[in-house]
Chains A and B, each alone.
Chain A
Amino acid sequence: MIISLSKDVVIIQREQDVVLFRNRVKEFATKIKMGLVNQTKLITAASELVRNMIRYAEGGDISIEVVSKGRENGIRLTFKDTGPGIADIQLAMKDGYSTGKSLGLGLPGAKRLVNDFNITSEVNKGTVVTIIKWANG
Chain B
Amino acid sequence: MALDITKILKSKKKSLFEDWMKNQLSNEGLREDLVSNEDLRAQSEELINILLQTLTPENLSDPSSASFDPVLEILSGIAIVRAQQGFSPRETGLFVISLKEALLARLQEEVKDNPIAIFEESLKLNRVMDHFIINSFETFIKGREEVILRQTDEIAEISTPVIRIWDGILALPIIGTLDSSRTQIIMESLLNEIVATGSSITILDISGVPAVDSLVAQHLIKTVSATRLMGAECIISGIRPEIAQTIVHLGIELTNIVTKATLASALRYAFQTLNLQVRKAGTQNATNQ
Interface residues of A (CB under 8 A from B): 15-16, 18-19, 22, 36-37, 39-41, 43-44, 47-48, 51, 95, 102-103, 105-106, 108-110, 112-113
B4 close to A (CB within 8 Å): no
- Docked Cα-Cα span, A113 to B212, in Å, equals 13
Q: Known contacts being A15-B179, A18-B177, A113-B246, is A105 close to B252, with CB within 8 Å? A: yes
Inter-subunit contact A41/B179 (CB<8 Å): no
Closest to A15 in B: B179
Residues in chain A near residue B218, CB distance under 8 A: 102-103
B280 close to A (CB within 8 Å): no
Of the candidates B211, B215, B249, B250, the one whose C-beta lies within 8 Å of that of A22 is B211
B251 close to A (CB within 8 Å): yes
Interface residues of B (CB under 8 A from A): 149, 152, 177, 179, 210-215, 217-218, 241-243, 245-246, 249-252
Residues in chain B near residue A37, CB distance under 8 A: 241-242, 245-246
Of the candidates A16, A19, A43, A103, the one whose C-beta lies within 8 Å of that of B214 is A103
- Docked Cα-Cα span, A19 to B179, in Å, equals 11
Inter-subunit contact A106/B251 (CB<8 Å): no
Q: Known contacts being A105-B252, A112-B251, A113-B249, is A36 close to B242, with CB within 8 Å? A: yes
Residues in chain A near residue B179, CB distance under 8 A: 15, 18
Residues in chain A near residue B210, CB distance under 8 A: 22, 43
The binding surface of chain B is classed by DSSP as: helix
Closest approach, in angstroms, between the C-beta of A56 and any C-beta of chain B? 13
- Docked Cα-Cα span, A109 to B214, in Å, equals 8
User: What are the 6 closest A-B residue pairs judged by CB atoms, nearest first?
Assistant: A109-B250, A40-B242, A105-B214, A47-B213, A37-B242, A112-B249
Closest to B177 in A: A19
Residues in chain B near residue A105, CB distance under 8 A: 214, 250-252
The CB with the most chain B CB atoms within 10 A, among A102, A106, A109, A113, is that of A109
Closest approach, in angstroms, between the C-beta of A10 and any C-beta of chain B? 16
Inter-subunit contact A41/B215 (CB<8 Å): no
- Docked Cα-Cα span, A21 to B111, in Å, equals 53
- Docked Cα-Cα span, A110 to B273, in Å, equals 37
Closest to B248 in A: A112
Inter-subunit contact A40/B149 (CB<8 Å): no
The CB with the most chain B CB atoms within 10 A, among A40, A47, A108, is that of A40
Inter-subunit contact B249/A41 (CB<8 Å): yes
Of the candidates B152, B212, B241, the one whose C-beta lies within 8 Å of that of A44 is B212
Closest to A96 in B: B251
Q: Known contacts being A48-B213, A48-B214, A102-B214, is A40 close to B250, with CB within 8 Å? A: no
Residues in chain B near residue A44, CB distance under 8 A: 211-213, 246, 250
Closest approach, in angstroms, between the C-beta of A58 and any C-beta of chain B? 16
Residues in chain B near residue A15, CB distance under 8 A: 179
